[in-house]
């Protein structure tokens, strides 16, 4: 049940992602064109309806999304829910080697990750990195990202990856693997602020102290 609910929130949020900088998978391009055309014909009323549906879906989406899984890192190590449990909040950035906005914002992600306190972390998931680990490593090294990058996995991780239609996409989860805020779609003009707000919203909901990176 939790996967269906989370699928709904990603579907709603990713529709909004069409309006921001991001890359869609090739198999969805034709479908996305049709959706955009339909949205234009529908007018403001459908826009308001989509916004309402998105808000409702986000509110209903506080379900466990990463409880049972094992993933493989770019370095070949195993990564499980136990690793998530070590932090109060984890931001998970999904990106791909062919996504220009993803690569462009990676230095900002690296800088943000390096500024975080011990109870918060950023990890990335390179959705096509298993096909070219050398390229993935080069992009991350050039950006200065020193955190964990996942390539593939099973269980809840595999299900979550299957829901990602556009990159970059960032989700926020708590120590138990629960979705802890809205899904962030597309490249961000002020990534540090967007991410900080997302982290603090999650921490507040958990009864934790906010972070201050100023």
Note whether residue 213 is domain-resident.
no
Q: What is the CATH number of the domain that holds 32?
A: 3.40.30.10
With the CA atoms of 77, 72, 147 and 214 taken in that order, what torsion angle do they form, in degrees rounded to the nearest 10?
-140
Note whether residue 39 is domain-resident.
yes
Q: pLDDT of 23-68, one tens digit each?
A: 875 334 334 444 444 444 444 444 445 454 544 434 434 455 888 9
Q: pLDDT of 56-100, one tens digit each?
A: 434 434 455 888 999 999 999 999 999 999 999 999 999 999 999
Global pTM?
Answer: 0.76
Range of the structural domain that residue 135 is part of: 2-205
Average pLDDT, the chain: 80
Total structural domains in the chain? Answer: 1
């Amino acid at each position: 049940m939790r996967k269906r609910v989370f699928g709904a929130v990603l579907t709603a949020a990713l529709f909004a992602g069409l309006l921001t900088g991001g890359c869609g998978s090739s198999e969805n391009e034709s479908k996305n064109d049709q959706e955009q055309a339909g949205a234009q014909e529908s007018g403001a009323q459908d826009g308001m309806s989509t916004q309402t549906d998105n808000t409702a879906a986000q509110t209903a989406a506080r379900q466990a999304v990463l409880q049972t899984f094992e993933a493989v890192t770019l370095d070949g190590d195993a990564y499980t829910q136990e690793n998530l449990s070590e932090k109060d909040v984890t931001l998970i950035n999904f990106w791909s080697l062919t996504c220009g906005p993803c690569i462009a914002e990676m230095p900002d992600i690296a800088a943000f990750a390096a500024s975080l306190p011990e109870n918060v972390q950023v990890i990335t998931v390179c959705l096509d990195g298993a096909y070219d680990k050398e390229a993935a490593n080069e992009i991350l090294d050039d950006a200065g990202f020193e955190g964990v990058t996942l390539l593939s996995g099973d269980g809840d991780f595999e299900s979550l990856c299957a829901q990602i239609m556009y990159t970059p996409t960032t989700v926020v989860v708590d120590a138990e693997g629960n979705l802890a805020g809205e899904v962030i779609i597309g490249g961000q003009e002020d990534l540090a602020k967007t991410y900080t707000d997302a982290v603090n919203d999650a921490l507040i909901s958990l009864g934790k102290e906010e972070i201050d990176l100023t």
